[in-house]
Amino acid sequence: MKVNDIMTRLEAKHPGESEYLQAVREVLISIEDVYNQHPEFEKAGIIERIVEPDRIFTFRVPWVDDNGKVQVNIGYRVQFNGAIGPYKGGIRFHPSVTLSSLKFLGFEQTFKNALTTLPMGGAKGGSDFAPKGRSQAEIMRFCQAFVVELWRNIGPDTDVPAGDIGVGGREVGYMFGMYKKLAREHTGTFTGKGLTFGGSRLRPEATGFGALYFVQKMCDEYHIMLRGKTVAVSGFGNVAWGAVTKATELGAKVVAISGPDGYIYDEDGINTPEKIAFMLELRNSGNDVVAPYADKFPRSRFFPGKKPWECKVDIALPCAIQNELNLEDAKTLKKNGVILVAEVSNMGCTSDAVDFFIENEMLFAPGKAVNAGGVACSGLEMTQNAMHISWSNEEVDKWLHQIMNDIHEQCVAHGRNDEYINYVKGANIAGFMKVADAMMAQGIV
């Protein structure tokens, strides 16, 4: 395999799909050497097959807004790779959603899910629908219209969607309600459900908690004390909230969170139940701004239009959206002496930022390893639904912890080069080998 040749062909086939091409290139570069040690992969066209989704559904989502006006959005479900289990992955509602972004997310999800040790294939879906400023009734009608089209292509052993940006417990509830009505079955076809109808304990916390378990393992590996370290987080949604909660519990001090409007710096730490709960209030307001935090807690400051990466901290955790940390930010972090960067968002860093971290042998781990706790907990929800039981907080947390440790171990096993662990390489190789193995065993399909 020659990465450049493959990329040239893919760019010609899918022009302008920049995020998808970025994600594919990153994985191919990591796996090039191992791949070339397996001539049977080349013979079976593994690369040519693994970079293309199994199938894609695209559909119109018409709905009526509160003023009686007809609105039309586009809906998608990208079933990327079903080699190791039923398709699994979130639904994103955000104006930036395009086929390219969902293809990148589905591709990443395939390897992430492989890392979780659970049998789940990769998928992603969503719409360019913008929930910001929409009423509860509008959100419900949109979710229902989305599922009216999607429902025939999903099922507990076929494809199991969940939440992502713009889709939380409320939206999953509405989508599940319509699914159940159309399919006439109450099964685990969605994860991230409410606790009263088959949801798993800890699912809302799992992405952020899992990320911090992973960060803890990175620290242990390098004999760094997490306790007492300062942390900058981007975002203020569900994932950021889980990360802030667990970071605080583990003795670190989170001093920054952010929104599309700018960032908050709170020197005292975002570390009291009141402050952490306020993040949820901000999110539930539906306004997509963090500025009100500074009004509520006057010792903190709001920096409009800025990113939190300019803060002098020990640890940086991008928790918002893809490509939110660029090369310039990476250089600022290094200059400020940051010791660890862990992507909690999917592909949170641009390619040149990732290259910069690795060339400078900085401690860096990619989203598909760090944030896998979310989908892992979804996998546990599927198991509980299939068994018609529900596990306690302690049981789920124990699994989550074990899975994150296991992912860390896989990264180290495939990414260690003398003293330095290249977590990007480790995660990509471990995830790829599992999926490739399964594809080899199942013939050319």
Task: Give 189 or 191: the residue with its C-beta nearer to ligand 2IT.
Answer: 191
Report d(CA 375, CA 160) in Å as an integer: 11
Task: Give 88 or 94: the residue with its C-beta nearer to ligand 2IT.
Answer: 88
Task: Give 171 or 266: the residue with its C-beta nearer to ligand 2IT.
Answer: 171
User: Which residue's CB comes closest to ligand 2IT?
Assistant: 90
CB 125 to ligand 2IT: min, Å = 10
Q: By C-alpha distance, which of 313, 309, 312, 374 is closest to 348?
A: 309
The conformation of residue 199, written as its DSSP 8-state character, comes to: P
**Pair of tokens at residue 73:** 């959005």
CB 167 to ligand 2IT: min, Å = 8
Q: By C-alpha distance, which of 320, 401, 382 is closest to 119?
A: 382
For the chain, the straight-line distance linking the first and the last C-alpha, in angstroms and rounded, comes to: 21
Report d(CA 433, CA 439) in Å as an integer: 10
Task: Give 192 or 426: the residue with its C-beta nearer to ligand 2IT.
Answer: 192
Task: Give 168 or 286: the residue with its C-beta nearer to ligand 2IT.
Answer: 168
Non-local (6+) Cβ contacts of 409 within 8 A are none
Task: Give 316 or 377: the residue with its C-beta nearer to ligand 2IT.
Answer: 377
CB 159 to ligand 2IT: min, Å = 10
The DSSP H or E segment spanning 90 is strand 87-93
Active centre residues (catalytic): 124
CB 11 to ligand 2IT: min, Å = 25
Q: By C-alpha distance, which of 118, 120, 139, 119 is closest to 130?
A: 139
Tell me which amino acid residue 32 is. E
The bridge status of strand 340-342 relative to strand 420-421 is: unpaired
Neighbour tally for 284: CB within 10 Å: 10
On whether the CB atoms of residues 269 and 255 are closer than 8 A, the answer is yes
Report d(CA 73, CA 9) in Å as an integer: 31
Task: Give 197 or 222: the residue with its C-beta nearer to ligand 2IT.
Answer: 197
Report d(CA 177, CA 195) in Å as an integer: 14
The conformation of residue 152, written as its DSSP 8-state character, comes to: G
Phi, psi (5° rounding) for residue 282?
Answer: -60, -45
Chain positions contacting ligand 2IT, by CB under 6 A: 88-90, 109, 162, 164, 191, 346, 374-375, 378
Q: By C-alpha distance, which of 235, 379, 206 is closest to 214?
A: 206
CB 262 to ligand 2IT: min, Å = 25
CB 365 to ligand 2IT: min, Å = 15
CB 110 to ligand 2IT: min, Å = 11
